Structure 1
Amino acid sequence: MRYRLTALVLLSFAVPAAAQERIDTVLARAMTAGKTPGLAAAIVQDGKVAWIGTYGFANVEAKRPVTRRTEFHIASTSKPFSTVLLMQLHAAGKFRLHDDINQYLPFSVRSPALPDEPVTFEMLLQLRSSIRDNPTCYRPLWSGGNGDSPIALGDFLREYLSAEGEDFSKENFFERAPGSKYTYGNTCFALIGYLAERISGKPFASYSEEALCDPLGLRHTHWFLAQTDTLNVALPFQTDGSAGYRPVWHGGFPDWPAGQLFATFLAAYTNNGRWDATQVIDSASIELATPRSPVGLGGRTWTVRAAPTPDAGRPQLLYEHAGGVVGGQAVVAFNPITRDGFIVLANSDGLRLNIKPIMDALQIKAHRPRR
């Protein structure tokens, strides 16, 4: 998931000093190993932002430190945000999961290998749509350093997915039936965002503000670089073998609902959708996307991290999503039962973060679902 997050400006609550010291150590080691100039982290506990930490520089040359108001590109961790926005419309009865998405689009989406097989919302959300990210098309778009994309979301998807489109190719689809196999892909999430736009009747960025950002008080939350104060945005740094890292300019993508947002909503998400005594996110949407038992998992927006426990060998459950772009990385993870979670943002693509030491420092216990 490519997505941007700021909003580490919320009221924070105390985390034990010993845990903070352990987290400081984990993050400092990761920054040194990954040659990362700047980093911000937040801990969520019991539906509240419990701790915020900032480290290093948002801009090395200007010696501008990372602060709680520094905005980061959080890459693909925006995908859960886009999914929630679509699922809000499902909760309102605007579409059904088994509907053919073509009923809601101004162009047709069909695999050239199986043109009679529909793609449903459920297939799209489960990343089983047979839609593929064609590297020939995407590689130049993801190279970074070009600012916001001048291509409108709907235009990009029409040219890529419609048989009449200039960028259409059989390589944009897998030669298998929709619904048959999971494959992670950015195009699916861009289409999720565009479907939310079509169904809501509002531009996706505007619908995002109205449905989630404003209710959550995210006043410095943006999909586009042009909406930000660039002096407040962490400058991306790309890993360089000789110098360690080198600065690159901010880049944007035509498939931006797949990962180009400044926001945080993990606290509300872990609190069953409630924020400041208001039900902002429909709780049924949360349960569909991240059920408390992995059995019958409805979607694949989040990675389900499972590992054997020493005592009984049962699977642990932790929802996680990571993202990376040229000059930036992010990771979000949480336990749906204990409502503990954390966010780490970095302005370098060299960070290699192991989440287990953070879980250990926070004493987060991954939930073991009953059999």
Structure 2
Amino acid sequence: MKKAENFKAFEETVQKLTEKHMIPGTSVAIAQEGEIVYHKGFGFRNVEDALPVTEDTVFGIGSITKSYSCVAIMQLQEAGKLNVHDPVIKYLPEFNVNNKEALKQITIHHFMTHSSGLPPMSSLVYAMKRSMDIDPSAQNYPGLKIEQENYEPIDTYEQLMQFIADQDFELLGDPDTQFSYSNDAYALLGTIIERVSGKSYEQYVYDHILSPCGMKYSCFMIEEYGDYENITTCYAEDSSEGTKRIIPAPIWWDAPSMRAAGFLKSTAGDMLRYAEIFRNAGVVNGKRILSEESVKEMVKPHIQTQPGRFYGYGLMITPDYFGTTLVEHGGGLKAISAQLSILPEKGVSGVVLTNLAGVPAARVMQLAFNAYAGREVEASHISFEEYEIGEERLEQYQGEYESNEGMKVSIVIKDGKPVLISQKAEIPIMFVKENAFIAYVNDSTEIAEILVDDNNEPWGISYHFRQFPKVSTKQVVK
């Protein structure tokens, strides 16, 4: 009975989150040992026609696609066609960065773990440019106003490598020393998969992952669904008339050169089939998709992303999540906020899919796992104590931080307390170490780190899994 009561509390909490964030539709599903034990559709896949959300409703999954790219790489390693410790330039001789010595050392493994040293870049915007140019709602998507010269669309892998080579940047550090989330690295994994397998990236994923897993509602292109109607409408936030409202925004964004980084579409049912790879040591429906050894490598904590949290291959790893290991990844893009989470030791997997960007899918997943485990719905696996930071140090942290990817945040002091400003929102923050703080963003806790040089001088910030530099010290709020 306790579980039933918990799910009642869970659904009430999610309904409040849905109303607060104005989420049109949400699909939540949990499986135990591969069998779906809970599914709930909140809201609608199409609000205007009141069409329900089911286990087979198609949503975008965004960057959860990255784990598929790593499954493909591991399959190709098992087939003897590559090794994850091979230098990237063995397969991509056109790939180039300023630091020629580091260039020789960057391996496939570094691309898979976001540890190549590549900083955030604006290439994703140009890769999506053809979609965005025909989409009236593109202006409503936060963080895409890139303030630099206008490039032509990046349609091919070769154009992407040329774009990277043309950029004037320093690597964040030697390979394997710095974690910074890189869509470019993952796009180029798609290039390697194509060149090594002799198939297009999309065809390889279909033939070797989607089809053998029985994922019949998972495709890269919306046109591939043909007459299938159980597909969500895309929605976007619009504040052009002074008040926030959610509007239908039917154009799906695409980026041919970056599909390996985040453009697969799927359903709750299909995603839980896919999760079996990691829950069941590589076997789905009696078919071996990956060796047990390859799965172990994918869920190994290769590099720290935040205190207590690590990156494997295309997956985030939390070794102590209420005493067990959590394997997960999120995804976000226009009309997409998605979360896939697996507790392999417990035999549990879960997925949350929504049709609006920037909403707390990961938080909904945490609440669902709490309900399923019989915990208080709002329980957290981590707790923080406030660190008293000196006024002089806080002054040094003030200023604007900006990445070439379009992300911009500021740290200011308001009424004597530090505040993070992101997308015009003021977010209270609490320091938990000399150079680390937590921010409560979109009903989720985000950990950020101030990056300092050898002289302990702040030069940048690690936020939302990206490293980006401080660009000014001006005070934004008096």
TM-score class, shorter: 0.7 to 0.9
Kindly tell me: are residues 36 and 79 of structure 1, through their superposed partners in 2, closer, same or farther at Cα, counting changes over 3 Å? same
> Out of 354, 359, 370, which is 1:351 matched to?
359
Q: 1:1-371 counterparts in 2 under 5 A?
A: 17-105=4-92, 107-115=93-101, 117-118=103-104, 119-135=106-122, 137-142=123-128, 145=132, 152-161=155-164, 163=165, 168-171=166-169, 174=171, 176-229=173-226, 231-241=229-239, 242-248=243-249, 249-253=251-255, 254-263=257-266, 264=271, 265-291=274-300, 299=312, 301-305=314-318, 317-353=325-361, 354=363, 355-363=365-373
Q: Is the partner of 1:43 in helix, strand or coil?
A: strand
1:153, 1:194 within 8 Å by CA — same for their partners in 2?
no
Kindly tell me: are residues 125 and 293 of structure 1, through their superposed partners in 2, closer, same or farther at Cα, counting changes over 3 Å? closer
**C-alpha displacement at 1:111, in angstroms?**
1.9
Ranges in structure 1 where 5+ consecutive residues have no aligned partner? 1-14, 310-314
Find the aligned partners of 2:219 and 2:100 in 1 and give their Cα distance. 38
Aligned to 1:3: none
Q: Is the partner of 1:194 in helix, strand or coil?
A: helix
Aligned to 1:5: none
Cα deviations by residue, 1:104-129 (Å, 9 ceiling, x for unpaired):
23x33232133563211121112111
Kindly tell me: are residues 293 and 326 of structure 1, through their superposed partners in 2, closer, same or farther at Cα, counting changes over 3 Å? closer
Find the aligned partners of 2:61 and 2:311 in 1 and give their Cα distance. 24
Find the aligned partners of 1:36 and 1:344 in 2 and give their Cα distance. 12
2:329, 2:341 within 8 Å by CA — same for their partners in 1?
yes
1:113, 1:176 within 8 Å by CA — same for their partners in 2?
no
2:220, 2:259 within 8 Å by CA — same for their partners in 1?
yes
Find the aligned partners of 2:336 and 2:277 in 1 and give their Cα distance. 25
Find the aligned partners of 1:53 and 1:193 in 2 and give their Cα distance. 34
Find the aligned partners of 2:91 and 2:328 in 1 and give their Cα distance. 30
Find the aligned partners of 1:146 and 1:44 in 2 and give their Cα distance. 40
Aligned to 1:12: none
Percentage of identical aligned residues:
22
Kindly tell me: are residues 292 and 238 of structure 1, through their superposed partners in 2, closer, same or farther at Cα, counting changes over 3 Å? same
Find the aligned partners of 1:224 and 1:179 in 2 and give their Cα distance. 34
Question: 1:278 is aligned with what amino acid?
Answer: K
Kindly tell me: are residues 26 and 80 of structure 1, through their superposed partners in 2, closer, same or farther at Cα, counting changes over 3 Å? farther
Find the aligned partners of 2:301 and 2:220 in 1 and give their Cα distance. 30
Cα deviations by residue, 1:220-270 (Å, 9 ceiling, x for unpaired):
221122212484321221223424312222111231110011242113331
Kindly tell me: are residues 306 and 347 of structure 1, through their superposed partners in 2, closer, same or farther at Cα, counting changes over 3 Å? same
1:77, 1:331 within 8 Å by CA — same for their partners in 2?
yes
Structure 2 length-normalised TM: 0.64
1:58, 1:66 within 8 Å by CA — same for their partners in 2?
yes
Question: 2:345 is aligned with what amino acid?
Answer: I
Question: 1:239 is aligned with what amino acid?
Answer: E
Find the aligned partners of 2:350 and 2:18 in 1 and give their Cα distance. 17
Kindly tell me: are residues 24 and 175 of structure 1, through their superposed partners in 2, closer, same or farther at Cα, counting changes over 3 Å? closer
**C-alpha displacement at 1:348, in angstroms?**
0.9
Find the aligned partners of 2:202 and 2:342 in 1 and give their Cα distance. 26
Residues matched between the structures, number:
341
Cα deviations by residue, 1:278-316 (Å, 9 ceiling, x for unpaired):
21222222110113999997835222336686xxxxx75
Find the aligned partners of 1:336 and 1:115 in 2 and give their Cα distance. 40
Kindly tell me: are residues 205 and 83 of structure 1, through their superposed partners in 2, closer, same or farther at Cα, counting changes over 3 Å? same
Structure number having the greater strand percentage: 2
Find the aligned partners of 1:65 and 1:150 in 2 and give their Cα distance. 36
Question: 2:162 is aligned with what amino acid?
Answer: E
Structure 1 vs Structure 2 CA RMSD: 3.3
1:49, 1:267 within 8 Å by CA — same for their partners in 2?
no
Kindly tell me: are residues 364 and 151 of structure 1, through their superposed partners in 2, closer, same or farther at Cα, counting changes over 3 Å? farther
Whose radius of gyration is greater, 1 or 2?
2
Kindly tell me: are residues 300 and 235 of structure 1, through their superposed partners in 2, closer, same or farther at Cα, counting changes over 3 Å? same
Question: 1:270 is aligned with what amino acid?
Answer: R
Ranges in structure 2 where 5+ consecutive residues have no aligned partner? 136-151, 382-478
Question: 1:358 is aligned with what amino acid?
Answer: A
Kindly tell me: are residues 153 and 20 of structure 1, through their superposed partners in 2, closer, same or farther at Cα, counting changes over 3 Å? farther
Kindly tell me: are residues 57 and 338 of structure 1, through their superposed partners in 2, closer, same or farther at Cα, counting changes over 3 Å? same
Question: 2:295 is aligned with what amino acid?
Answer: I
1:78, 1:259 within 8 Å by CA — same for their partners in 2?
yes
Find the aligned partners of 2:303 and 2:94 in 1 and give their Cα distance. 33
Kindly tell me: are residues 306 and 274 of structure 1, through their superposed partners in 2, closer, same or farther at Cα, counting changes over 3 Å? closer
2:277, 2:295 within 8 Å by CA — same for their partners in 1?
no
**C-alpha displacement at 1:146, in angstroms?**
5.9
